[in-house]
Structure formats: structure tokens, C-alpha cells
Chain A
């Protein structure tokens, strides 16, 4: 009896080996290599296999990095809040309207995701750039005389492009979450005496927690590592940690780039833990 169970277990284990290997090779080995590199001395072009904490000392003492880290968080948090403020009402109305029509409109909102992301960033340049649509409009209306550069190459531009980039990823989880709440639930709350505002606070908001958690994992955390958007439209005020890491890694200063990557990874992990602490694991799979 006991041996039979053991055989089953061993079989199960063996049959799982390929998928475990797959995860190890594709996800963890690169990370381990990067971790190792982060403990080597900062050298250009080469990795010198000598253990040192120099990079980490650098990361924790250079005030410049803090500034950029704070900037990164500021941009991502503002973008997330704006995304939720814009995305939730859209998802809410889509979810409460006729199912068919709602799903169709949702589909058309998602289509832009299929367009290459660089093309979309350049499209924003056409609107927000120095010779862009917005400046031309303001000049022709006589509001300004010379084209302004603050729309582009600023943290505001990064936020705008991030919102554009991620909006579908915010609407979809909200939509899926909200269509799962039956009309009867709202009717019941109303029948028990709740006003619209009270229903929103006591029923809708707690029930979309899973969507908010999904959005944090799907949008906020990946955005912390964003480098292309700040690189292309961020300018000085829109710089983010990802730009810095990219600069080091592509400049072949692997060690310091790796250390910064790890710094970001650890922060991300801590953030994830906090989110899970607040919402609980169940929020990911139940409502």
C-alpha cells in the first residue's frame, strides 16, 4: 500500500521534471547569472570574477539613484491612479450595458494593443512634440506664441503614454470582474436600503479588489521597469530606473547595471508581498 503511493509520487515527480527544468532554465538561471555579475567589480566591457559589494554600496549611497528611484515610483503611481480613474468607469459601463454590445466595444478598445508599441509612442510625438498637433493648435488659437516643450520630454508625457499603453490592461480585468457581479446583487443592496453611493462603497469597491490586484501585478509592477517610454518621451523630469539600467547594460557596464536590476527586483518583490498581505492570496482567484 505504502510503496504503491511512493511509486505514484515518484512517477508524478518524474513527469514534472521537464516543466520544472523549463522554468529553471528560462526564468531562474538568467537571474542567477545576473546576480553573480552584480557582485563583480564595475568594469567596462568585461566581467572580472572577483567578489565585491562595491556596486551595492554605490547603489545605496549615490543620491542620484534615489532621485531616479523616487521619480520612477512617482510616475508609475500617478499613472496607475489615473489608469484606475479612467479605466474603472469605462469598464463599469461596458459591464452594465447589453452583454453583446459591451463585449464588442471592449474588443475595439483592445485592438490598438495589436499595433506595435514604438509606432504608438511615435504617434504621441506627432501630437505632443515640439512641432506636434497640440502646439500647433495652441499657437493657432493664439494661446501661446512659441511651441512649448513641456508636453513632450517630461514626466507628464511619460504618464500620458503609459496610460495609453496600459489602459486596455486595466479595463479588461475590471470588466471581467464587474460582469461577474450579477445585477441581483445591486438590486438586493438597493432593496435593503442602500443609496447608489453606499452601494459603490460597500459592494462594488470591495468586489473589484481582485481586479485591482491583477492590475497592480499586470501593469504597475512591470511599469517600474519601463525604459523605452521614458527614454523616448521622458526627457530630464521623466527619467526612470529602467533608462539607467538600460544605459549601463548597453554601455557594457554589466556589473552596476545588474546591481541596479537587483535593487529594482527586490523592491518589486517587497511591493508584491505588501499587496498580497493587504488583499490576501484569495483575491487572485475568488471574488
Chain B
């Protein structure tokens, strides 16, 4: 993927009366990527999408598409198309009429409309439903109509606002695969909004995490998962253990911190000083378990007792009470899960798997 910027969002603020929905969001979106904006309810995701689509006007800030300032353009003059949270299909129309809507409005000749409708329905694989009323379709089929209705206009940027929110888990998973396929076939840029971290990890090339009207972190989905910058990001994406500790010794990028009477090794590029407090995030799958005391260099090793196990199908999550009384979550693949509650155990993780957070 080339790093050619198609959409540029610059310092967008948006106020609704007393509510500050967006507080200075800046964002570059690359051509052809599938960017997922992830954030809890009320974090401003929909507002940001609506501003990009032109359905809402920002209090301040600018939007550029291919270098052109489009902040003041109405929606119908923008090369974007939006798929809404509740799809917003036109209930009084057939699939054909819904999909053809944007072209009919523009006065495109009928035979070209027919050709393009067939083409896009083929792409989303519902050509056989062309003459059905949209109210007579299943949730997944309606989803496809909504996508076709937007894609037929060949938008440079497709904006999707939690379009799978209303569907059950199995159907969502099916559609995730379909969405990725369609995205690859069409090759345009997608911005997909969701509050479901699993959905984000499944779909995204890159993930942007939003909270409280701000974009907290954006990057490759692996980086965001493995190197969260703040406690919010670490806890919002995936499961994690957060250790609240205090820096005691610093040797370059090697830091020792005190955590409830235990000494932890941490690796960090950040400037830290002894006495500073620090949050450390360690993902449960990066922590290993062993009955005998391991003697590995470069690992943090602690002793504790298993208090609980939860079977989650392909893996098991253990709750472990350390000797200092703190609880730690550890996940182990089911095939290696040979421990029981009550077992005395050693747990260990590589020093560089602990991620210091900026709070």
C-alpha cells in the first residue's frame, strides 16, 4: 500500500450547545486503506464521520480530499458516501430503486443505470434480489443493499458508521469477511466506525482509537494492540493487566520499578526519573506459567496461586493471586492448560512485553 494521503482531517472541533463532541481531531487517511475508528459510545465517532460526509459542519478545523479544501462543500459535491448506523434504506423502494437512487438523481441514462446496478449487485452478491422490496430482506441482505447503494457512485471514500451493530454475532462475522473482500475488489478508501474492538481488529489495516472527542492513538493495528500509549487504549483493545508502580532505578532504557512490594523490570524509550509513578500494561497471553521456578534472563518472574479458571474455547483464562496479594490474569492455549485452581505456580513475562503507559 502506497502512503499517498487521500483524506486529511485537520484540527476539527465540534460543539453541540454545551457538549464538546470533538476536541481537536487531526487525522491522515491513506488511499486504499481500511481505517477503523474505535471508541466507546459518545466518543464522537459518528460526529467525525458526519463532518467528513458534509452532513455536519465543524465548529472549527478543515477537511481536505486529495489536497482540496472541501470543508464548505455540501454532501452532494463530495466524493464520499456514508453507510448509516441503521442503514437508512428507503423503505418504499425496491432493491433496484434504492441502489439506483444516486444515479437517478443525477439524471444518468436508464441503460447505464441498469448496467451499473447489475454490476454492483453482482459485487455484493444479491443480484437475484433486485426486484424485492427492501423491507422484505434479512438484516444481512439489507446490509448489502446499503453497501451497493453507496458503492454504485464510486466514492473515493466510503464511510461506514457501525453498519453491523444490529446483526447477530454469526452474521457479523460472515459480513466481516465479505466486507474485506468487497474492499479489496473495489480498492477505494474505507473509514469504518465501531465500538467493538474485535470487529476493529478483524477488519482494520489501521486502527484509530477515540475517547471523549479526541483521537488518542492511531496506527497499524498490531502496533496499537502491542504498544498502546495510554491506559485507556490498553484496556479498550483486548484484555490486559495494569500494574501501578513507581520507578526506583533507571539504567538507560532499562528501568526497575516497585509494584506493591515486588520489583519489576521494564524496558522503555521514555525519559523516566526515579520516584515517578508509572502504569505498566502486560497482556495476559504474554505471561507464561510454570510449576518449577524458571531461571530465564530478561524475564520478570513471580510466585502465586491459581484462584480461578475460565474456559473460553480455544484458550483458558486463569486468575492468579500473587504473593503480594495482587490478582493477575493469564491466558493459556487450551491444549497447554494443565493447571487447576489451588495450584502453586510461577508466572513470567519478557521484560519488553510490559508496556509503560502515559496514563
State the CA gap A195–B55 with chains docked (Å): 13
Residue of A nearest to B104 (CB): A202
State the CA gap A22–B53 with chains docked (Å): 58
Is the Cβ of A195 less than 8 Å from the Cβ of B76? yes
A185 at the interface (CB under 8 A from B): yes
Within 8 A of A (CB), among B13-69: 50, 53-55
Is the Cβ of A185 less than 8 Å from the Cβ of B105? no
Is the Cβ of B55 less than 8 Å from the Cβ of A193? no
Is the Cβ of A193 less than 8 Å from the Cβ of B102? yes
A203 at the interface (CB under 8 A from B): yes
Minimum Cβ distance to chain B for residue A161 (Å): 35
Is the Cβ of A185 less than 8 Å from the Cβ of B88? yes
Contacts of B81 in A (CB 8 A): 191-192
A4 at the interface (CB under 8 A from B): no
Question: Given A206-B92, A207-B92, A286-B135, does the pair A191, B75 have CB atoms closer than 8 Å?
Answer: yes
State the CA gap A286–B91 with chains docked (Å): 10
Interface 1/0 per residue, A150-192 and B, CB below 8 Å: 0000000000000000000000000000000010110111111
Minimum Cβ distance to chain B for residue A28 (Å): 36
A194 at the interface (CB under 8 A from B): yes
Is the Cβ of B105 less than 8 Å from the Cβ of A194? yes
Interface 1/0 per residue, B292-330 and A, CB below 8 Å: 000000000000000000000000000000000000000
Is the Cβ of B55 less than 8 Å from the Cβ of A203? no
Contacts of A195 in B (CB 8 A): 76
B209 at the interface (CB under 8 A from A): no
State the CA gap A190–B75 with chains docked (Å): 7
Is the Cβ of B85 less than 8 Å from the Cβ of A193? no
Contacts of B84 in A (CB 8 A): 184, 187-188
A198 at the interface (CB under 8 A from B): yes
State the CA gap A182–B86 with chains docked (Å): 9
Is the Cβ of A193 less than 8 Å from the Cβ of B153? yes
B160 at the interface (CB under 8 A from A): no
Interface residues in B, total, Cβ within 8 A: 27
B101 at the interface (CB under 8 A from A): yes
Minimum Cβ distance to chain A for residue B354 (Å): 44
Is the Cβ of B55 less than 8 Å from the Cβ of A190? yes
Is the Cβ of B106 less than 8 Å from the Cβ of A189? no
Residue of B nearest to A206 (CB): B92
Contacts of B75 in A (CB 8 A): 190-191, 193
Contacts of A182 in B (CB 8 A): 86, 88
- Secondary structure of the A side of the interface? helix
Minimum Cβ distance to chain A for residue B104 (Å): 8
State the CA gap A45–B9 with chains docked (Å): 86
A287 at the interface (CB under 8 A from B): yes
B256 at the interface (CB under 8 A from A): no
Our count of residue pairs bridging A and B at CB distance below 8 angstroms stands at: 63
Is the Cβ of A193 less than 8 Å from the Cβ of B76? yes
Which of the residues B54, B88, B106, B135 comes within 8 Å of A188, measured between beta carbons? B88
Question: Given A182-B86, A203-B90, A286-B135, does the pair A191, B53 have CB atoms closer than 8 Å?
Answer: yes
Residue of A nearest to B78 (CB): A191
State the CA gap A194–B98 with chains docked (Å): 13
Is the Cβ of B105 less than 8 Å from the Cβ of A188? no
B82 at the interface (CB under 8 A from A): yes
Contacts of A192 in B (CB 8 A): 76, 81, 101-102, 105, 149-150, 153
State the CA gap A132–B338 with chains docked (Å): 97
Contacts of A194 in B (CB 8 A): 76, 101, 105
State the CA gap A187–B150 with chains docked (Å): 13
Question: Given A190-B76, A192-B81, does the pair A184, B86 have CB atoms closer than 8 Å?
Answer: yes
State the CA gap A136–B11 with chains docked (Å): 64
Question: Given A192-B81, A193-B153, does the pair A184, B105 have CB atoms closer than 8 Å?
Answer: no
Residue among A190, A192, A195 with the highest chain B CB neighbour number at 10 A: A192
Minimum Cβ distance to chain B for residue A203 (Å): 6
Contacts of A198 in B (CB 8 A): 105
Is the Cβ of A187 less than 8 Å from the Cβ of B55? yes
Contacts of B53 in A (CB 8 A): 191
Residue of B nearest to A186 (CB): B88
Minimum Cβ distance to chain A for residue B57 (Å): 13
State the CA gap A193–B58 with chains docked (Å): 20
Minimum Cβ distance to chain A for residue B54 (Å): 8
State the CA gap A286–B133 with chains docked (Å): 12
Contacts of B91 in A (CB 8 A): 185, 207, 287
Minimum Cβ distance to chain A for residue B351 (Å): 50
State the CA gap A190–B50 with chains docked (Å): 12
Which of the residues B55, B85, B106 comes within 8 Å of A191, measured between beta carbons? B55
Residue of B nearest to A187 (CB): B55
Is the Cβ of B101 less than 8 Å from the Cβ of A189? yes
Minimum Cβ distance to chain B for residue A256 (Å): 46
State the CA gap A184–B86 with chains docked (Å): 8
Residues of A bordering B, CB below 8 Å: 182, 184-185, 187-195, 198, 202-203, 206-207, 209, 286-287
Contacts A184-B88, A206-B92, A286-B135 known; list 8 others, CB within 8 Å: A184-B84, A184-B86, A185-B91, A188-B82, A190-B75, A192-B76, A193-B75, A198-B105
The 4 closest A-B pairs by CB, nearest first: A188-B88, A184-B88, A192-B102, A193-B76
List 10 A-B pairs, Cβ < 8 Å: A187-B84, A189-B101, A190-B55, A191-B76, A192-B101, A192-B105, A193-B153, A194-B101, A206-B92, A209-B92
